[in-house]
Amino acid sequence: MSALKKTDSQIYELIKDEEKRQKDVLEMIPSENYTSRAVMETLGSVLTNKYSEGYPRKRYYQGNEVIDSVEEIAQERAKKLFGVPYVNVQPYSGSPANAAIYMSILKPGQKLMGLALAHGGHITHGLEVVGFSGTFYKTAHYTVNKKTRQLDYDEVERQVLAEKPDLLICGFTAYSRIIDWARFRKIADKVGCFLMADMSHITGLVIGGVHPSPVPYTDVVMTTTHKTLRGPRGAMIMITDRGIKKDAEWPRRLNTAVFPGLQGGPHDNQTAAIAVALKEAATPAFKKYAEQIVKNARALADGLMARGYEVVSGGTDNHLVLVDLQNKKMSGKIAAEALEAAGIILNYNLVPYDPMPPMYTSGIRMGTPALTTRGLKEIQMEKIADWMDRALREVNGFVLSDNKDERTEQMKKYRLAIAENKNLAKIAQEIKQFITKYPVP
């Protein structure tokens, strides 16, 4: 990075600071991961200089012979890896990819239905008011069982039959159990609607064989290309054989929805980096990696439950762990900030039937993809659970008021206390000494 250092030392130093931060902490946000050096090199290549509106062999710009080959390789690798007849690798990220799917299926005012946000769904799966999906379409949501906090498929079926959506979405962002794609198919067929899987979080696990694939059961699949896939930030849309059989013109409409419907020229460096990540994911080593992600998540969940923490649904089958802190009388926001001071990076998150508002929450969400990339295994998860417990005990009694104005003032006081807490700083130093033994790719 010598050229950057010479041209813009300010940005260079910030990048070096971020590089150091990523090396010195436990990165446990389940949607974050470390890419390989090969993916990073591809992102920083000359491909970023090209403009390629359109699709391979049908561009609106000249000079795309090489770019066409890059995109075709990405498409073919995805088709082979997932067993699908159609894929679009151009979406900039997951949210516009979901928007393109909706645009290709629904007319404004038609209804889509996904898992409620507080129960593990995603903002693009029908959130009203602030979400685009709730702005242009009618929305409805199904929920998890209040007691088990897992999907009760009989109840989901009842809710879906009552709402009769035109599009049913399965695949989640904060749900830690195996998804029964076949049951969702049966439910969708009873309504006569399209069935979409958003498998962004679990794609690497599907490739690795530790989570069933939605491809045989759904009409269309969206995935981001980072998270457990360990590629660049981006997304792919795949129409399955079932989807093509339902509507042979769908691929054409979906291509049009992506471009020119929602975005301009693709980011060719991103497309190429996706192709690299897909090649890496097709190896036996990646299968072992996916298996270890799940082993680590289960070990982490067990370690936290042994220390008295309530893990939502009683455990995990995938890469993430969602913890409800209500029994600790603690806000997820305070917990996340205290853990960050201790060198543990995760996010505060709503839990099912959460009494707290979204900016504070009762829960924290964590995952093991990035830690597994660095080579950590089950025995280290026990150590991490202990560090988390030590850190959270430092903010016992940091209770937030129900009054919004009082909460704001309390947070100022609590943040100052967290920043000055020497025990949290000590844990951060212990973690730094520990984690640097496990290099970032």
Active-site residue set: 51, 53, 198, 224, 227, 233
* DSSP bridge partners of 88: 237
| CA–CA separation, 343 and 387 (whole Å) | 10
**Cα distance between residue 222 and residue 372, in whole Å:** 24
For residue 144 the two structure tokens come to 């998890």
Residue 30 has φ and ψ, to the nearest 5°, of -65, -15
Rounded Cα distance, 193 and 165, in Å: 7
Pairing mode of beta strands 54-55, 58-59: antiparallel
Q: Name 1's Cβ contacts closer than 8 Å, sequence gap at least 6.
A: 12, 15
Q: Residue 303 is encoded by which pair of tokens? A: 């370690």
The number of beta carbons lying within 10 Å of the beta carbon of residue 268 is 22
DSSP string, 311-371: EGGGS-SSSEEEEE-GGGT--HHHHHHHHHHTTEE-EEE--TT--S-TTT-SEEEEESHHH
Query: CA-CA distance, 119 to 1, in Å (whole number)?
Result: 43
Phi, psi of 307, deg, nearest 5: -100, 15
Neighbours of 86 (CB within 10 A): 20
Cβ contacts of 57 within 8 Å, gap of 6 or more: 68
Number of other CB atoms surrounding residue 199 within 10 Å: 29
CA 379 to chain CA centroid, Å, is 25
Half-sphere exposure (CA, 13 Å, Cβ side) for 234?
28
Q: Computed from CA positions of residues 38, 43, 44, 46, in that sequence, does the dihedral angle turn out positive or negative?
A: positive
Q: What is the 8-class DSSP label of residue 262?
A: I
Write b or e for each residue in 214-233: b if 16 or more Cβ atoms lie within 10 A of its Cβ, otherwise e. bbebbbbbbbbbbbbbbbbb
